[in-house]
Copies of this chain bind each other. A is one copy, B any other.
Amino acid sequence: MATKLLSCYPWTTSPFIVAAPMRVMSGPALALAVSGAGGLGFIGPGIQTQNTHVDLEETLTLIRKQQIQPSSLNSHTSSSLLPVGVGFQLWGDDIEIATAAIQKFKPCAAWIREASPQTQIWIQIGTLKEAKQLLLISEKPDVIVVQGAESGGHGRSEDGMGIMSLFPEVADAMETSQIPLLAAGGIADGRGVSAALCLGASGVAMGSRFLASKEARISKGYQDEIVRATDGASTTKRTLLYNHLRGTFGWPAGYSPRTIINKSFVEHQGGTPFEKLKERHDEASKLGDAGWGPEGRLATYAGASVGLIHGVPAAETIVQGIRKDALQRIKSLGSVGL
């Protein structure tokens, strides 16, 4: 299955490493850098729901022009498919406009249905129930991303579970489907990638690790927090508070993002009314980078793997370093164990 996946995206190298589509932060520079390093980069949903299409058109045009495309990808774009994927929120984005953009630009992968026939359809799930529902639909996705509770991006609030148990149980349920499964959530280095492969994953998707990359479209204050934070278990929480402080409502019930907590969360726990928190949040948003940090108030979405992230290298360095470490670990264990 892992081999099948690599052949669908012929510029990729084993183990298959994906940069997840993160809203705003995953722009064309990050997506192309990851694909250029033998991974698969995704472009995240746009800056605001109402103008996703503008952002997406501009972004895909930029990539089509190949002004910033690494030369290593040139040989693979003759098929007219873009060597990056595009992420959508099915509940929030304008599907007609998104579909039009997909048809026009033909990215290699998208989290959406009814697009260009060559574009592969990826679906992310976070529970066994969601996985089983995919077995019942007639038009199967090409790739399923299994997201553990460790993840930063929006995931299951109450019935999420660590990827160590979740992934193998989903894999058993999906076995007959022959759909490649990727593991996501809590993975940020070669240890996590090699562990995911052992669990049966055909590859991994990482978010937080790429937030701390040179190419991420992210404020320095936010990025500094990703690097600074340790002890992901106690310094990150799943909460809708920061969505609401930013005016984001509408995620379906049962989903929430993981966030590095700061004063907004602490005061919320202490009983400060939302209106007061909102005022202080909006004030903090005028401070620039000082709005983040333990004394800050701004949303700092990140996964539980933040304690494994210690610097801001180029995305290419991240992909190549993690791939090398994962392969070395497996090789080294194999030589001891046998």
Contact = CB atoms under 8 A, between A and B. Distances in A.
A148 B162 contact: yes
Interface in A209-249: 230-234
Contact of A195 (B3, B196, B338): B196
A163 interface: yes
| Residue in A149, A185, A333 with the greatest tally of chain B CB atoms within 10 Å | A333
Interface in A164-221: 164-166, 168-169, 172, 185-189, 191-192, 194-200
Given A231-B169, A333-B330, A304 B196 contact: no
Given A191-B200, A195-B198, A234 B330 contact: no
Contacts of A129: 231, 234
A270 B304 CA distance: 32
A15 interface: yes
- Per DSSP, chain A at the interface is helix
Interface residues of A, number: 56
A251 to B, nearest CB: 19
A94 to B, nearest CB: 32
A200 B308 CA distance: 14
Contact of A161 (B200, B233, B337): B233
Interface string A95-137: 0000000000000000000000000000000011100000000
A327 interface: yes
A162 B185 contact: yes
B2 A162 contact: no
B234 A169 contact: no
Nearest to A232: B165
A59 to B, nearest CB: 31
A308 B162 contact: no
Contact of A198 (B148, B166, B191, B303): B191
A210 to B, nearest CB: 16
Contacts of A185: 162, 164
A151 to B, nearest CB: 9
A150 interface: yes
Contact of A168 (B165, B166, B308, B337): B308
A160 interface: yes
A337 to B, nearest CB: 5
Contacts of A168: 189, 191-192, 308
Interface of A: 2-3, 14-15, 127-129, 148-150, 156, 159-166, 168-169, 172, 185-189, 191-192, 194-200, 230-234, 303-305, 307-308, 326-327, 329-331, 333-334, 336-338
